């Protein structure tokens, strides 16, 4: 019994070894037959990047650059010796386009080719996709003026921000990119989107650059390089105040009651701003002077606010450039009158000790204006004419001089501008 057991165990181990050896021999025979009878094999390699390198090509010699392509990577089917193509992958193969047929900017449909592993023989069965639409253009660097934009700024009560007074440092931006894309840029904004409330001038950094076409379409910045990385925007904060407007009357007699004159203004007030904290903005602003003699029926005059504010620290932020002033004449009437020589006097005669001055005009035709009931009582004796020669530079013995009128009534005035002839006679 013991003999039979040992015999059985010995032969079982021998059979297992024989089986394993048989499998190894069969695999080796299969490999030999496969390599000798079927040496070539087909292999698919995916995700091979499309190269942008066009060095040495006609396109490069014409100053062109590979801008973009609608193909990023390709899949290739290869046929070759299975021992060799087995070593090929997407790292030792390169997909490229032939740019020798490209001599000008634009989009070209070009065939995709494969190169790499020159020591391995293989046949390219297919490339998918087989072509690519490639954009070529000349790269350029240009400068553009930068306009600051702070859309979310707020100010406390009594303060104002003028977007037109904001400044940006640097004020010029350099952008590198395809010429065709640079040609589209019309406006360049440095934008600070931060939300904040200000009570004084403030400097904020821009967090983005926005480029626009002439038609105010936002430009995609992919493919563009902005050479400056930081833009500081100064936001000037002004003190502002609503100011009442009025008109002054000049050349009125001392006894004239100017309170009876009323004007209708196209705007009763404007908002003024000032960046000088030491300057106080007034409650009222005199926008112009009107001579009393100008006030006739239908009087109207326009004053430019810019002229009134010139030389001051104030800035008009109301978008009102001009004020039209109209005389409210509904309570007044006009009346013609003739004055004789006796109503005309001279005063402040130069060198009166050596010269005598005599009025030559015999009469003056004038028009007076005032309330209707008052004018009914006014007579020529109530009007005086003064020829004031103070500081007069008289070069001739006969000359004409402006007449100044006054009336006994403080609500009546003369609307006529008259000159009176005067004769000077030497007394010594």
pLDDT in tens, 241-257: 899 999 999 999 999 99
| DSSP three-state, residue 317 | coil
Assess whether pLDDT exceeds 80 at residue 87: yes
Tens digit of pLDDT for each residue in 112-169?
Answer: 999 887 678 888 899 999 999 999 999 999 999 999 999 998 888 878 787 778 999 9
Locate all alpha helices (DSSP H) within 73-204, ordered by sequence. 82-85, 179-182
Which residues are CB-neighbours of 18 under 8 A, at least 6 positions away?
A: none
Phi, psi of 405 (to 5 degrees): -110, 150
Q: In angstroms, rounded to a whole number, what is the distance separating the alpha carbons of residues 234 and 407?
A: 59
Q: What is the pLDDT of residue 37?
A: 47
Name beta bridge partners: 76: 45, 127
Beta-ladder partners of 48: 74
DSSP, residue by residue, 97-125: E-GGG--SSEEEEEEEEEE--TTS-EEEE
Using an 8 Å Cβ cutoff, are 366 and 416 in contact? yes
Q: What is the pLDDT of residue 170?
A: 95
Tell which CATH classification among 3.40.630.30, 3.40.50.970, 2.60.40.420, 2.170.120.30 matches the domain 40-138.
Answer: 2.170.120.30
How many angstroms separate the CA atoms of 221 and 369, rounded? 72
Q: Is 375 helix (H, G, I), strand (E, B) or coil?
A: helix
Sheet hosting strand 202-205, strand order edge to edge? 167-169, 232-235, 202-205
- Are the C-beta atoms of 218 and 259 separated by less than 8 Å? no
pLDDT tens track for 346-397: 999 999 889 999 999 999 999 999 999 999 999 999 999 999 999 888 889 9
Q: Which CATH class is domain 238-327?
A: mainly beta
DSSP 3-state of 351? coil
Domain 333-426, what fold? RNA Polymerase Alpha Subunit; Chain A, domain 2 (2.170.120)
Q: CA–CA separation, 162 vs 147, rounded Å?
A: 13
Out of 173-182, 218-227, 275-284, which region has the weakest mean confidence (pLDDT)?
A: 275-284
Is there a contact between 297 and 329 (Cβ–Cβ < 8 Å)? yes
| Paired tokens of 385 | 């004419």
Indicate if 238-327 has the same CATH topology as 40-138. yes
Residue length of the chain: 428
**Domain boundaries of the chain, sorted by first residue:** 1-38, 40-138, 146-235, 238-327, 333-426
Task: Give the pLDDT band of residue 16 (cuts 50, 70, 90).
Answer: low
Digit-coded pLDDT (tens) for 292-317: 999 999 999 999 999 889 888 888 88
Q: What is the mean pLDDT of the chain?
A: 88
Q: Is the pLDDT of residue 13 over 60?
A: no
User: Can you tell me the mean pLDDT for 3-29?
Assistant: 59
Residues ≥6 apart with Cβ < 8 Å to 205: 192, 230, 231, 232, 233
Got the DSSP string for 154-220?
EE-TTEEE-GGG-EEESSEEEEEEEHHHHTT--EEEEE----EEESS-EEEE--EEEEE-TT-PBPP
Q: How confident is the model at residue 81 (pLDDT cuts 50, 70, 90)?
A: confident
pLDDT at position 30, please?
Answer: 47
Identify which has the larger pLDDT, 269 or 34. Answer: 269
Q: What is the pLDDT of residue 280?
A: 83
Q: Is 165 helix (H, G, I), strand (E, B) or coil?
A: helix
pLDDT band at 3 (very low <50, low <70, confident <90, very high): low
Domain 146-235 belongs to what topology? RNA Polymerase Alpha Subunit; Chain A, domain 2 (2.170.120)
Range name among 25-39, 44-58, 197-211, 377-391 with the lowest pLDDT average:
25-39
């Amino acid at each position: 019994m013991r003999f039979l057991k040992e015999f059985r165990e010995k032969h079982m181990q021998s059979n297992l070894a024989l089986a394993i050896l048989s499998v190894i021999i069969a695999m080796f025979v299969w490999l030999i037959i496969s390599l000798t009878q079927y040496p070539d094999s087909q292999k698919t390699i995916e995700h091979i990047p499309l190269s942008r390198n066009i060095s040495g090509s006609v396109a490069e010699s014409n100053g062109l650059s590979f801008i973009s392509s609608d193909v990023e990577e390709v899949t290739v089917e290869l046929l070759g010796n299975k021992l060799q193509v087995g070593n090929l992958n997407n790292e030792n193969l390169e997909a490229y386009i032939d740019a020798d047929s490209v001599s000008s900017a634009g989009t070209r449909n070009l065939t995709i080719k494969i190169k790499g592993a020159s020591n391995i023989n293989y046949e390219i069965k297919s490339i998918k996709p087989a072509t690519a639409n490639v954009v070529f253009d000349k790269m350029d660097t240009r400068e553009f003026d930068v306009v600051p934009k702070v859309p979310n700024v707020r100010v406390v009560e009594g303060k104002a921000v003028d977007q037109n007074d904001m400044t940006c440092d640097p004020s010029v931006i350099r952008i590198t990119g395809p010429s065709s894309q640079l040609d589209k840029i019309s406006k360049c904004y440095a934008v600070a989107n931060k939300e904040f409330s200000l009570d004084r001038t403030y400097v904020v950094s821009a967090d983005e650059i926005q480029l626009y076409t002439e038609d105010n379409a936002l430009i995609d910045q992919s493919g563009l390089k902005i050479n400056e990385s930081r833009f500081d925007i100064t936001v000037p904060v002004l003190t502002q105040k609503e100011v009442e407007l009025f008109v002054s009357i000049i050349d009125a007699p001392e006894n004239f009651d100017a309170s009876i004159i009323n004007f209708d203004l196209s705007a009763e007030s404007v908002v003024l701003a000032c960046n000088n904290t030491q300057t106080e903005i007034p409650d009222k602003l005199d926008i112009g002077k009107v001579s009393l003699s100008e006030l006739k029926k239908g009087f109207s005059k326009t004053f430019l606010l810019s002229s009134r504010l010139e030389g001051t620290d104030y800035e008009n932020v109301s978008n009102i450039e001009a004020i039209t002033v109209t005389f409210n004449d509904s309570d007044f009437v006009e009346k013609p009158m003739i004055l004789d020589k006796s109503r005309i006097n001279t005063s402040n005669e130069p060198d009166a000790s050596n010269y005598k001055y005599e009025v030559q005009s015999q009469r003056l035709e004038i028009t007076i204006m005032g309330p209707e009931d008052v004018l009914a009582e006014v007579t020529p004796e109530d009007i005086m004419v003064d020829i004031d020669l103070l500081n007069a530079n008289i070069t001739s013995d006969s000359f004409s001089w402006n007449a100044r009128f006054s009336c006994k009534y403080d609500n009546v005035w003369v609307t006529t501008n008259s000159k009176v002839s005067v004769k000077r006679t030497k007394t010594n």
